[in-house]
Each structure stands twice: as C-alpha cells, then as structure tokens.
C-alpha cells in the first residue's frame, strides 16, 4: 500500500519499502522442491547481457528498427521479422534484476477462494516502488544497455506506468531518461515522472503521436527507444513474474494475467510453459479493447476500434505488440474479456475482502474470476496477477460507487405518495421496515399534472444486496406506484415480468414522466440538479462531443439560430440580470436542444443564492416532443464552455506551452481548468481575481484536484506575463490585460463577452493577433470581435477562421510563434452536443 499511496500522491516516491514476503537485497529466493525449477531458474550465463541494439516502438515506423549485428543474436529465433526472447533471456533477466526490484509476495486469499470455489493466490505486483510490474522490464532493459547507450540515455513514449518505472530506475542507475507523453497523460503522472528526474516532453494527442516524435531522439541523439510492452528485454523482464510464482507455490494449475500490449503475458507464458507446460496461461482483456483476442483470431496483429474508454485504461492498447504476439500465440490457453461492470465489482471486492486498492488493469484478472468467466478452474490452484495499483483517488471513489450499484447495494427508485401530512413519513417507515438505509430523498409536486393530491418522491437507498432490493420492491409495490432503477442485467426473468405486469420499467430514469394519453406525446422527464451533477463530469469524452459539434458546424451540418438576449433592468422588483436563449440541432442526432440561461443576477449573492440559473429542454428529433428537462442551473452551460476552451487549447496552443493563467476565478475558470486537463498537460498555473481570497481558494482547490501547482498573483499583469495560455472569464465590463504583457506565442481564450455591453480584450490586441471565433457572425455582434470592429481596427473579414474550420482541418490553426485570440461567445451547437451527451449518460 505504501508504494501505491506514494504513486497516487504526485510526490517523489520514497525508497521502495520492505514488504512482508518480499526479499531484501541479500536474501535468497525460496525455492519449491523441484530439481527442474532449481536448474532452469539458475542464470545460464554471466550477468552481462549480449549487447543488443534492437529498437521497437508503439506505432514507431519500421525504419527505426535496426538489425542486431552481434554474433550471439544470430542464434535468436526470428518469426515474421521479430527476434523472440528465449527462456534463457527470462532466466538472465530474473537474475539480473533480483537486487533492484521487489520480490513481491504470492499470498493465498482465503476470502476470494471461498467466494470463487478456487484456491486463489494473489501476486502483489502493485508493491513495486512505482506501483506496477513495469519495473521488471524497465530495469532489465536499462541494465542491458551498452556503456555508450547508458551515456546517451533512453527515450520512451508512455502515459503511465512504463514512464514511471523507467524514470525511477533510470534515476537509480544514473541513466538519463526522456519520456514523451501525449497531452492526454494524467497530470499526476507527468508530475511524478518529472519529480523522479525524467525529462518529460508533452507531444501530440496520443501515444502514437508521442512514439512518432521519438524518431528525432533515436536518429539525432542516438538514444535507445524502449517500447513499453514489445521490447525484447521488457518481455524477458516481465517473465520473471512467472518464475517467482513457480518458485513460491507448488502445484499451480493456472495463472491469470491481464493483457494490454502483451508484454507481461508473453513473458510469463514463455517462462512458465518452459518449466511446466501443464500450467494454463489465461489472458484477460477489457471487452472494449480485446486486441489480443482479435489478433489470435486473425492470425496476425490487427488494430481494434474502441467504442469508448475503459476503467482498465492500462490495458487499452488497440494493437498488441508483434513480438509479444509471436511469443504468446502458441503458449496461451485461453483469452477472456471482462465488462466495465465486471471491473468495477472486482475493484469493490478487492477493497472489501482484501483491503487492497488496484487500478482497473490490476483488477482485470480478479474480474474474470468473479464474473464466472473461468468455471473450469473450480477446485484448482489459481495464481492471479495484481499488476498495478496506480488509480486516481477521485476515479476510485466513482468506481466503488458504481460497484455498489452493480452489486445492488445502492439502488434508486421513485414512487407516488399521497400529498398529505405523514405521506412521506409513511414511505420512510416502509423503507425502514425492510432494513434499508435512505441516502438521499427528493420530492416534487409540479410534475404530476394529472394528480394534484399526490407527490412524486425519488429515493436513493443503501441495501445489503439483490434479495433486500426484491423485498423492498415488494413492500413498496403493495402501497405505492413504484418505479425502480436497477442495473441492466441484474433482474431475473420472473422479477422483470412482475415489473412489466405492473407497467413499470426495470431501468427507469430517476424522475419518470407521467404516461402519455392517447393522441398525446409523452410528458418530458425531469432530471434535477443533483442527478446531473452526480453523473455528468468533465471528461475527455465530453470535450470530444463538443469538438465534434464544432466540426459539424463547419461542415454545415448544424442548424444554429442567432441567440436571443433578454436584459432584465434593475428595479425595485427585478434585476439586474440577463437571459440568454440558445439552441441547435446537429444533423443525424436523435435530439435537439433549447437552453435558457439566466446570468448576472448578482444581487442573488446577497441573499445566499447563485447569480445564475437555467434549464435545458432536450427534444426528440423524431417527433419534436420535449424528451427531458434538465434542471442544471448553468452547470451544463459551464461544462460546455469549459469544453470549448479545451478544444481551443488543443488546436491553437503552442505545442510546448507549459503555463496557463486564469483572469477571473469563478465557476467558468474551474470548468476551463478541469476540461483542459483532459486534453492538454500544463506544468504550472497562475490566477488573478480582484478578491484575493477567491483567487487563493481557486488555486488551492485546483492544485489539489489537477495535480500541478496553481499560484495566486497580486495583479493580472503578473499572471499574464508568466503564461503561454491565458483564459479570461470575467463579467466583461473592462479590459483585463494589455498587449505588452503577452508572450509572442500566447493564446488568449476569452469567454466573458457574451453580450454587446461586455469587453475584456483591448482592440489593439485583436488587431495584432490571429483571431479565431466560435461563430464569426455572433462574435461580430456580441463578442470581443464586436468591440474591435467598433474601434475600427478590424472587420469580420479579418477573422482567420472559426474554431470548427480548424477542428475539421479546413483551415490551418497555429503557424509557429504567433499571438492568437479565440473569441468564445457560446453556440447552440455546443448546447445540442451536450444535450445529447447528457441524455446518453443519464439514460
């Protein structure tokens, strides 16, 4: 747990801890009473590895690979152009790294053995110093370098555990390590790699982009590229896991191994099958990225398309390594896949039964066992690899909660009760009688139009499991019309039939609509603020939805009318405030959206109320009827504004931008920071607000949440001068920066001017800069462009492009070192995109 906790914290990792069952530097490894094992595991040659110069990469062009000219290499088995490691290479690696990595314990799990009816042994690879098995291959690869290669250093492309492992062992061995990370890399891992002394460079939007950029370091600086899962020595080092399992336990029948790029299972299979061919090697992949299964079926490496992200992000490799594939193809006995639900339940079980925190990839093997994917192993001795424990704390909380839902220990239902004194109390008494615990309860009167004497109540309860859920439903159904939300696939056929007989839906939304009368469209469903906030978070998927909306807008596939603005003048009875009405439809989408956003009601703050509010009305594109009312109180507006800012940074910021400034530190600034963090990695941030305490609160909150330092500045000038990217999101009444403060390559993303009376950026800045808008016609009417046009320094024709034109590739964005202003006034296309996205999430 020590290593995992250090890996989560973002701080430099402490020296590797001693763990129970692990060996110290001078300890001897325990051996099973097997002459064969003792003979084969002993190093077969000197520790000095034959000098190799192969170079492999994740999507690195083939011309980066070189042929080993060493005479020893000529004896290697070469299949389909790949020289494959042999058992001797695994044995040598095992001996070579023995004093540099933790010999992790193999421990029998009494609880999991009882649950699965197998004899389960857990291999605790998360106890390595950086929290994963990757250290074995990384150290082996570094120790195999020639003296000349050690001096020049190594380069790798990684967004996760491979980068941490190389950085850690590079620092221990005095070997320079350069890691190219894509913009999607978690900020905590960027920070940790740098803290370990690695030279971290952010390059591109994917691992493939980062790997391609490694060409320059291999060709120009002579560095050795170390692929995270397909390097010769990576596979050999990973194989030491298999040797330790055979040494530490007798009569193992099967070893269950998570599969990503294939290096771990290839090494384990090579080692284990050589010693004991009767041990089954079983691979586990996430169902959303079963690339090894696809390769086995095709007989060659193929690239799979992922339908969406997976909790097991460490296994999300669309194409397995060709060398790993060739090693594994004749040695694997079975490949199975696990769903997102299986993984979340496994993470929950490991926390509850074993008191262990694993990342999604680390729990994949247990997920397969618990989900009943391996019934043939009942009664047998099964070793399961827990390969990594690096999971973000917020992600862990969300996953565990979903695990409780999938376990039917957290359930939500709605029912209709009499609107009279004691009505809700009677409902609570029924829940208490069953033994359930109420976690949240809400009630609404307005949405039951046909019954003015009843109230609709939505309840979230904590239960002991499906049996209590059934009892709760039966108790409630006797008294009230009740509608349960239960995980898909958890209802038995009998229970589903019973629900359907009562006219209820097994997977109903939190606030069901009243049934439609003949000849009428169904009434819309209401989703309250809490439901939306709890289920819709800033994410890369949300940013991509908004990004696609911009592209469709540029392609003429979006119908977006000009926004309507209603100004509410300040009187004794009203205001001041503003109302914006926007909407749009993206061609081919199942829904279209109209949004009512009320903003700048600043007197509300004096009453303890928010200054903004709003609703989304999502309509069915097939029949035009309102499908849902999202009572989001500007939460979704803030999210989609932040997503638009992230899209702007992704396509317009300088590639090596490292610092960002926020002028204005309210909810829009938070949304910009969170959304941008999903697609671009900054190293430091600066913030300014007229209220110093608000700026400091913002910085403290964002530093902790995003994993890189935020500093509050005493002036806007100090913040802007230090930044490569500047976000401005103030009420827009006056200029917030000056031209002389800006760096020559700065990107300014301004979102405060959303009506004709607002202006944040001096016109001379727009005159000097390349100007990009979300919608030029709209910005010329209400945005920063309007102010520059009014000042006579530019016309609408001077706008370089709309953001959608750059996203879709119709117009090139940045060209080298140039000042860019992106004027965001908000578009109905964004609202339409987020409306559809939210409906997908909530449904």
- 147 part of a folded domain: yes
Q: What is the pLDDT of residues 643-668, one digit of tens each?
A: 999 999 999 999 889 999 999 999 99
Of 395, 421, 439, the residue at which a domain comes to its end is: 395
Local confidence band at 55 (pLDDT 50, 70, 90 cut-offs) = very low
Local confidence band at 824 (pLDDT 50, 70, 90 cut-offs) = very high
Name which residue leads in pLDDT, 112 or 187.
112
pLDDT at 18 over 70: no
Local confidence band at 514 (pLDDT 50, 70, 90 cut-offs) = low
Which residues of 135-197 form beta strands (DSSP E)?
Answer: 154-157, 177-181
669 neighbors 727 (Cβ within 8 angstroms): yes
Distance of CA 367 to the CA centre of its chain: 19
Name which residue leads in pLDDT, 206 or 35.
206
733 neighbors 578 (Cβ within 8 angstroms): no
Of 342, 366, 395, the residue at which a domain comes to its end is: 395
Local confidence band at 502 (pLDDT 50, 70, 90 cut-offs) = very low
Q: How far is residue 125's CA from residue 161's CA, in Å, rounded to a whole number?
A: 12
pLDDT at 494 over 50: no
105 neighbors 57 (Cβ within 8 angstroms): no
Q: What is the pLDDT of residues 759-772, one digit of tens each?
A: 899 999 999 999 99
Q: Average pLDDT, stretch 720-746?
A: 90
Select, from the ranges 308-312, 744-748, 749-753, the one with the highest average predicted confidence (pLDDT).
744-748
819 neighbors 746 (Cβ within 8 angstroms): yes
Q: Mean pLDDT over all residues of the chain?
A: 83
pLDDT at 19 over 80: no
pLDDT at res. 833: 92
pLDDT at res. 511: 47
Residues 230 and 363 in one domain: yes
Name which residue leads in pLDDT, 744 or 66.
744
pLDDT at 373 over 80: yes
Residues 657 and 630 in one domain: no
pLDDT at res. 766: 95
Residues 362 and 469 in one domain: no
- 646 part of a folded domain: no
| Angle CA 124–130–134, to nearest 5 | 70
Question: For the purposes of burial, counting CB atoms within 10 Å of the CB of 32, is it exposed (0-12), middle (13-18) or buried (19 or more)?
Answer: middle
Token pair in block for residue 626: 């309102």
Q: How far is residue 385's CA from residue 315's CA, in Å, rounded to a whole number?
A: 14
Q: What is the pLDDT of residues 674-702, one digit of tens each?
A: 999 988 989 999 999 988 999 999 999 99
Residues 55 and 193 in one domain: yes
Residues 249 and 207 in one domain: yes
- 707 part of a folded domain: yes
pLDDT more than 90, % of the chain: 53
Residues 349 and 490 in one domain: no
200 neighbors 53 (Cβ within 8 angstroms): no
Local confidence band at 75 (pLDDT 50, 70, 90 cut-offs) = low
Q: Which helix (H) or strand (E) holds 326?
A: helix 322-328
> In which domain, by residue range, is 414 found?
408-523
- 107 part of a folded domain: yes
pLDDT at res. 390: 86
Residues 592 and 667 in one domain: no
Residues 541 and 478 in one domain: no
pLDDT at 51 over 80: no
pLDDT at 564 over 60: yes
Q: Average pLDDT, stretch 191-206?
A: 85
Q: How far is residue 1's CA from residue 394's CA, in Å, rounded to a whole number?
A: 17
Residues 822 and 690 in one domain: yes
Residues 431 and 515 in one domain: yes
Q: Average pLDDT, stretch 137-161?
A: 93
pLDDT at res. 307: 79
CA distance readout (Å), 207 to 132, 156, 204, 317, 542: 19, 10, 8, 10, 20
Q: How far is residue 96's CA from residue 600's CA, in Å, rounded to a whole number?
A: 66
Q: How far is residue 839's CA from residue 609's CA, in Å, rounded to a whole number?
A: 27
CA distance readout (Å), 172 to 18, 176, 196, 666, 834: 17, 10, 10, 43, 47
- 459 part of a folded domain: yes
- 424 part of a folded domain: yes
345 neighbors 407 (Cβ within 8 angstroms): yes
pLDDT at res. 184: 65
The torsion angles phi and psi of 485, rounded to 5 degrees, stand at -105, 110
pLDDT at res. 308: 75
pLDDT at res. 3: 35
pLDDT at 329 over 80: yes
Residues 596 and 510 in one domain: no
742 neighbors 791 (Cβ within 8 angstroms): no
505 three-class SS: coil
Q: What is the DSSP letter of 77?
A: E
Question: Strand pairing partners for 687?
Answer: 662, 712
pLDDT at 30 over 70: no
Q: What is the pLDDT of residues 437-449, one digit of tens each?
A: 999 998 876 655 4
Q: What is the pLDDT of residues 233-276, one digit of tens each?
A: 999 999 999 999 999 988 999 999 999 999 999 999 999 999 99
Q: How many domains does the chain have?
A: 4
CA end-to-end span of the chain: 37
Q: Average pLDDT, stretch 140-153?
A: 95
- 518 part of a folded domain: yes
**Strand 106-108 and strand 119-124: pairing?**
antiparallel
Q: Average pLDDT, stretch 550-578?
A: 88
- CATH number of the domain that 475 lies in? 3.30.70.260
Local confidence band at 376 (pLDDT 50, 70, 90 cut-offs) = very high
Residues 177 and 287 in one domain: yes
- CATH number of the domain that 566 lies in? 3.30.1780.10
Q: How far is residue 689's CA from residue 665's CA, in Å, rounded to a whole number?
A: 6
244 three-class SS: helix
Q: What is the pLDDT of residues 710-727, one digit of tens each?
A: 999 999 999 999 999 999
- 47 part of a folded domain: yes
């Amino acid at each position: 747990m020590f290593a995992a906790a250090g890996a989560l914290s973002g701080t430099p990792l402490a020296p590797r801890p001693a763990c129970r069952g692990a060996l110290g530097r001078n300890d001897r490894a325990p051996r099973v009473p097997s002459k064969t094992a003792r003979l084969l595991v002993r190093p077969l040659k000197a520790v000095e590895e034959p000098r190799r110069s192969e170079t492999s990469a994740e999507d690195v062009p083939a011309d980066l690979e070189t042929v080993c000219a060493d005479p020893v290499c000529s004896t290697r088995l070469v299949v389909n152009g790949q020289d494959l490691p042999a058992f001797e290479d695994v044995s040598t690696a095992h001996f070579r790294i023995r004093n540099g990595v933790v010999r992790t314990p193999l421990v029998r799990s009494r609880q999991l053995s009882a649950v699965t009816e197998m004899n389960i042994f857990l291999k605790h690879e998360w106890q390595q110093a950086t929290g994963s098995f990757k250290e074995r291959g990384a150290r082996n690869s570094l120790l195999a370098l020639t003296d000349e290669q050690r001096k020049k250093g190594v380069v790798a492309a990684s967004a996760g555990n491979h980068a941490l492992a190389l950085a850690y062992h590079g620092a221990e061995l005095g070997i320079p390590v350069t890691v190219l990370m894509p913009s999607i890399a978690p900020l905590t891992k960027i920070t940790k790699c740098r803290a370990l002394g690695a030279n971290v460079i952010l390059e591109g939007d994917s691992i493939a982009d980062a790997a391609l950029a490694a060409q320059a370091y291999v060709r120009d600086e002579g560095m050795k590229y170390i692929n995270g899962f397909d390097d010769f020595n990576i596979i050999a080092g990973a194989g030491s896991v298999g040797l330790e399992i055979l040494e530490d336990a007798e009569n193992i029948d099967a070893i269950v191994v998570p599969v990503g790029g294939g290096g771990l299972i290839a090494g384990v299979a090579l080692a284990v099958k050589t010693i004991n061919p009767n041990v089954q090697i079983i691979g586990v992949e996430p169902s959303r990225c079963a690339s090894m299964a696809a390769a086995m079926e095709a007989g060659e490496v193929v690239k799979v398309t992922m339908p969406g992200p997976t909790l097991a992000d460490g296994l999300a490799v669309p194409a397995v390594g060709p060398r790993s594939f060739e090693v594994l193809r004749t040695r694997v006995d079975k490949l199975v896949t696990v769903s997102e639900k299986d993984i979340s339940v496994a993470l929950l079980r490991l926390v509850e039964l074993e008191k262990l925190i694993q990342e999604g990839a680390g729990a994949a093997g247990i997920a397969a066992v618990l989900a009943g994917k391996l019934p043939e192993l009942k009664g047998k001795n099964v070793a399961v690899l827990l390969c990594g424990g690096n999971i973000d704390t917020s992600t862990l909380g969300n996953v565990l909660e979903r695990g409780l839902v999938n376990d039917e220990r957290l359930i939500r239902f709605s029912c209709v009760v009499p609107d009279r004194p004691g009505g809700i109390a009677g409902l609570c008494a029924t829940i208490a009688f069953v033994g359930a615990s109420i976690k949240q309860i809400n009630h609404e009167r307005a949405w039951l139009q046909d019954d003015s004497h009843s109230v609709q109540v939505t309840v979230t309860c904590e239960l002991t499991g499906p049996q209590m859920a059934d009892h709760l439903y039966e108790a409630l159904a006797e008294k009230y019309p009740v509608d349960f939300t239960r995980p898909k696939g958890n209802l038995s056929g009998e229970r589903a039939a019973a629900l359907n007989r009562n006219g209820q839906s097994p997977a109903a939304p939190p606030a069901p609509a009243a049934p439609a009368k003949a000849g009428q469209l169904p009434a819309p469903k209401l989703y309250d603020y809490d439901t939306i906030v709890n289920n819709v978070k800033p994410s890369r998927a949300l940013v991509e939805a908004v990004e696609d909306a911009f592209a469709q807008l540029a392609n003429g596939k979006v119908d977006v009318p000009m926004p309507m603005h209603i100004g509410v003048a300040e009187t004794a009875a009203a205001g001041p405030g503003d109302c914006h009405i926007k909407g749009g439809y993206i061609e081919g989408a199942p829904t279209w959206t109209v949004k009512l956003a009320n903003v700048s009601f600043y007197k509300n703050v004096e009453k303890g109320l928010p200054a903004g509010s709003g609703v989304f009305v999502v309509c069915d594109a097939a029949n035009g009827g309102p499908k849902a009312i999202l009572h989001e109180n500007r939460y979704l507006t803030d999210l989609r504004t932040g997503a638009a800012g992230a899209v702007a940074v992704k396509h317009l910021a300088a590639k090596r931008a490292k610092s960002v400034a926020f002028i204005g530190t309210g909810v829009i600034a938070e949304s910009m920071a969170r959304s941008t963090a999903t697609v671009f990695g900054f190293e430091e941030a600066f913030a300014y607000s007229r209220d110093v305490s608000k700026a400091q609160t913002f910085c403290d909150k964002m530093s902790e949440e995003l994993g890189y330092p935020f500093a509050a500045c005493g002036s806007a000038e100090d913040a802007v001068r230090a930044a490569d990217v500047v976000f401005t999101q103030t009420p827009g009444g006056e200029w917030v920066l000056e031209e002389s403060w800006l760096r020559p390559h700065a990107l300014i993303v301004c979102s405060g001017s959303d009506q004709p009376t607002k202006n944040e950026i001096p016109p001379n800045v727009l005159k000097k800069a390349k100007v990009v808008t979300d919608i030029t016609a709209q910005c010329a009417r209400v945005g920063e462009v309007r102010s520059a046009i009014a000042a006579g320094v530019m016309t609408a024709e001077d706008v370089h492009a709309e953001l959608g034109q750059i996203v879709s590739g119709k117009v090139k964005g940045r060209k080298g070192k140039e000042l860019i202003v992106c004027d965001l006034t908000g578009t109905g296309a964004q609202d339409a995109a987020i409306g559809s996205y939210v409906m997908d999430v909530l449904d």
